[in-house]
């Protein structure tokens, strides 16, 4: 099961990813975690990414895709994975598609958690208030100001992925504002429906391929047409010959009848 979860910050992607990880036994792959692991392992791609990060530069898409490509080849991702934080843009999605195609893989589904941004802000504010009441440290990305920046970035960069994956018939949407158990149940339903659709789509090409006639060699169509024309010509000639024979026989019949009459008449005279 290869999945992507889409939705703005605070929509519950992390919670649902953890549940799906436990249910299907597949890893949740965070772009940040993968980058740090690659840098720590000093892989060729990790060294390149580490140099860029050390200089404060953004890691380009091709490097991120290469890191994802290395990660999904590890044993724990054999049965699938959940991508977290990647892709963030349409060009990254296109690069991911090319990489998966090269590996003879494909995504099974992209789950969008739809939310109301106004209620989302209220949810974050409530969470911050509860953390403060417990005396817990507030996460830097949980402040209203930071959340607004992150949501704005999502609208500009990541939201277009909804149309992209919808056009590729991979998008499955659910109400992210429902309770956690309700969202989980709906995701399970959507994934079951998606697997059925994929299986049905895969069966159609095989059926058509089995019924398809073998391709002819170049020039075979010309030869077949010429052979058909020659056969028709022979049939016309044969038909013409039969017609000629019938006409000749018709002409001979009156002459024979006349000769028989003459012979009979001569016999009576004698």
Q: Are 124 and 17 in contact (CB under 8 A)?
A: no
71 counts as catalytic? no
Is 62 within the bounds of a domain? no
| pLDDT of 223 | 72
Q: What are the pLDDT digits (tens) for 229-252? A: 877 778 777 776 666 666 666 666
Cis ω for the linkage preceding 227 (within 30 of 0): no
Among 15-29, 38-52, 146-160, 255-269, the range with the most confident prediction by mean pLDDT is 15-29
Name the pTM for this structure. 0.64
Q: For this structure, is 139 an active site residue?
A: yes
CATH number, domain containing residue 10: 3.40.50.300
Q: Are residues 174 and 131 in the same domain?
A: yes
Decide if 104 is inside a domain. yes
Number of domains making up the chain: 2
* Extended strands (E) in the chain: 2-6, 28-30, 81-84, 109-114, 171-175
List Cα–Cα distances, 170 to 91, 93, 156, in angstroms. 17, 12, 21
**Same domain for 160 and 268:** no
Whether residues 108 and 200 fall in one domain: yes
pLDDT, position 253: 59
Known catalytic residue at 252: no
Give the pLDDT of residue 201.
47
Indicate the range of 14-23, 77-86, 224-233 predicted with least confidence.
Answer: 224-233
Domain containing 183 equals 2-26+79-211
Note whether 253 and 153 are same-domain residues. no
Say what the pLDDT of residue 208 is.
46
Domain stop point among 181, 211, 241: 211
Query: Which of these is catalytic: 139, 195, 231, 237?
Result: 139
CA–CA dist 5, 20 (Å, integer): 11
The position carrying tokens 């016309």 is 236
- Check residue 172 and give its pLDDT: 95
Task: Identify whether the C-beta of residue 10 lies closer than 8 Å to the C-beta of residue 3.
Answer: no
pLDDT at 207 over 60: no
pLDDT at position 46, please?
Answer: 81
Q: Which of 13, 48, 71, 172 is catalytic?
A: 13
Which pLDDT band, with edges at 50, 70 and 90, does 118 fall under? confident
């Amino acid at each position: 099961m290869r999945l992507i979860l889409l939705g703005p910050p605070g929509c519950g992607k992390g919670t649902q990813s953890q549940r799906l990880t436990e249910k299907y036994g597949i890893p949740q792959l965070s772009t940040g975690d993968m980058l740090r692991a690659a840098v720590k392992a000093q892989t060729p791609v990790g060294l390149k990414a580490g140099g860029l990060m050390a200089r404060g530069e953004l890691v380009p898409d091709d490097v991120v895709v290469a890191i994802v490509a290395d990660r999904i080849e590890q044993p724990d991702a054999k049965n699938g994975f959940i991508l977290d934080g990647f892709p963030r843009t349409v060009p990254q999605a296109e690069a991911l598609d090319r990489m998966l195609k090269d590996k003879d893989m494909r995504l099974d589904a992209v789950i969008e958690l739809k939310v109301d941004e106004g209620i989302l802000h209220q949810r974050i504010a409530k969470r911050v208030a509860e953390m403060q009441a417990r005396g817990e440290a507030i996460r830097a990305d949980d402040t209203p100001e930071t959340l607004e920046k992150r949501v704005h970035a999502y609208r500009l960069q990541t939201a277009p992925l909804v149309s992209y994956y919808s056009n590729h018939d991979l998008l499955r949407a659910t109400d992210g504002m429902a309770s956690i158990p309700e969202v989980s149940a709906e995701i399970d339903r959507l994934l079951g429906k998606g697997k059925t659709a994929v299986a049905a789509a895969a069966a159609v090409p095989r059926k058509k391929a089995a019924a398809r006639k073998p391709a002819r060699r170049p020039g075979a169509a010309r030869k077949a047409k010429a052979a058909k024309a020659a056969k028709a010509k022979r049939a016309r000639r044969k038909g013409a010959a039969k017609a000629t024979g019938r006409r000749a026989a018709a002409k001979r019949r009156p002459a024979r009848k006349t000769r028989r009459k003459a012979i009979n008449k001569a016999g009576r005279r004698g």
